[in-house]
Homo-oligomer: A and B are copies of this chain.
């Protein structure tokens, strides 16, 4: 340490400054350029083995960790993949989707990206949210769970250097690539099953929890669409909060119905319990269908019929992201589509 550096540090207990590549260079007695080459594997045929060893040793001794911001500033891209989740939706992560996210992050890592979950505040316009994302200059943004994504949002991101905008959920906004999770199909599959078993007076649970609207609306619409193919069929929306009281109140409204699509397995369990406590026979008086096909569905009595959604392979999505980032000529559009199928069990037998 030279005198200037020593006196620059104030008192004795000032925190040690974070080592930079320049510090490593000084410590190893080489130039910063050499350090960069060695630490990035660009040293082949450029730097002698002895020098490489010196540099690596110096880096280790100082506890050097490269500065991602500086690197991405210089290189012009950040290797960051932002996975956007509406903040108020994080609790609603089902195991299905959580597992997808977990594996997706791992796959991104394999491709050299850093996948990061960003909870978007619900307040503020979609464009403000997009700007907040854009400040991080992510290589790609994947919005999930109906995180707001308007055409302007997409534009903001693309103009600020984001190479790919993917949207996981409803059909993509203009300019974005889509991984369509067709919520309507889920409702349609459930309704079609109930209708083709002879039921005609369908209820569809619509969770009162705000934030689930991007899912509940389309599921209801899908059920309605399916019902149009069956003369005499009627679909009734059943608002339900995720509490016992709400479920108990809903029971009366099911008197006129012969089947219910309960949004998902968890709401189905809630409703089934209220129905059974009120003496309603399932499926005799009322058939019930859930969605997500959790283990839960098989544990209920009667066992719960459920719509299972197959998500695309996380590895394939990660590969797509990688491709989109490196090749900007790929035109936006739908890239994947989830599929829904019914798992029939006792509750609608």
Please tell me if the beta carbons of A159 and B73 are within 8 angstroms of each other in the complex.
Answer: no
Q: How far is the CB of A314 from chain B (nearest CB, A)?
A: 11
Query: Which residue on B lies nearest to A90, using beta carbons?
Result: B102
Which segment, of A93-101, A169-177, A279-287, A315-323, faces chain B? Answer: A93-101
Q: Give the number of chain A interface residues (Cβ < 8 Å).
A: 59
Please tell me if the beta carbons of A70 and B68 are within 8 angstroms of each other in the complex.
Answer: no
Task: Give chain B residues whose Cβ lies under 8 Å from the Cβ of A119.
Answer: 101-102, 105-106, 115, 117
* Copies assembled: 2
Task: Give chain B residues whose Cβ lies under 8 Å from the Cβ of A69.
Answer: 68-70, 72-73, 78, 136-137
Please tell me if the beta carbons of B18 and A295 are within 8 angstroms of each other in the complex.
Answer: no
Answer yes or no: A156 CB below 8 A from chain B CBs: yes
Answer yes or no: A239 CB below 8 A from chain B CBs: no
Answer yes or no: A109 CB below 8 A from chain B CBs: yes
Contacts A102-B88, A116-B118, A121-B109 given; does A65 touch B95 at CB 8 Å: no
Please tell me if the beta carbons of A67 and B137 are within 8 angstroms of each other in the complex.
Answer: yes
Please tell me if the beta carbons of A244 and B87 are within 8 angstroms of each other in the complex.
Answer: no
A159 to B64 Cα, complex, angstroms: 9
Task: Give chain B residues whose Cβ lies under 8 Å from the Cβ of A243.
Answer: 295
A121 to B114 Cα, complex, angstroms: 11
Residue in B16, B63, B131 whose CB lies within 8 Å of A65: B131
Query: Which residue on B lies nearest to A130, using beta carbons?
Result: B65
Task: Give chain B residues whose Cβ lies under 8 Å from the Cβ of A8.
Answer: none
Please tell me if the beta carbons of B63 and A137 are within 8 angstroms of each other in the complex.
Answer: no
Answer yes or no: A41 CB below 8 A from chain B CBs: no
Residue in B65, B90, B160 whose CB lies within 8 Å of A134: B65
A63 to B161 Cα, complex, angstroms: 12
Answer yes or no: A198 CB below 8 A from chain B CBs: no
Answer yes or no: A299 CB below 8 A from chain B CBs: yes
A328 to B13 Cα, complex, angstroms: 11
Query: Which residue on B lies nearest to A136, using beta carbons?
Result: B68
Which A residues between 12 and 50 are near B, CB-CB below 8 angstroms?
15-16, 18-19
Query: Which residue on B lies nearest to A131, using beta carbons?
Result: B65
Which A residues between 179 and 233 are near B, CB-CB below 8 angstroms?
none
Task: Give chain B residues whose Cβ lies under 8 Å from the Cβ of A299.
Answer: 244, 269-270, 273
Q: How far is the CB of A315 from chain B (nearest CB, A)?
A: 14
Task: Give chain B residues whose Cβ lies under 8 Å from the Cβ of A114.
Answer: 118, 132, 136
A121 to B135 Cα, complex, angstroms: 26
Q: How far is the CB of A292 from chain B (nearest CB, A)?
A: 13
Answer yes or no: A296 CB below 8 A from chain B CBs: yes
A301 to B276 Cα, complex, angstroms: 11
Task: Give chain B residues whose Cβ lies under 8 Å from the Cβ of A328.
Answer: 15
Please tell me if the beta carbons of A63 and B159 are within 8 angstroms of each other in the complex.
Answer: yes
Closest 4 CB pairs of A and B: A117-B117, A69-B69, A90-B102, A91-B98
Sample 12 A-B pairs with CB under 8 A, ordered by A number: A18-B159, A63-B156, A65-B135, A66-B135, A68-B135, A69-B78, A90-B105, A91-B102, A105-B119, A269-B296, A270-B295, A273-B301
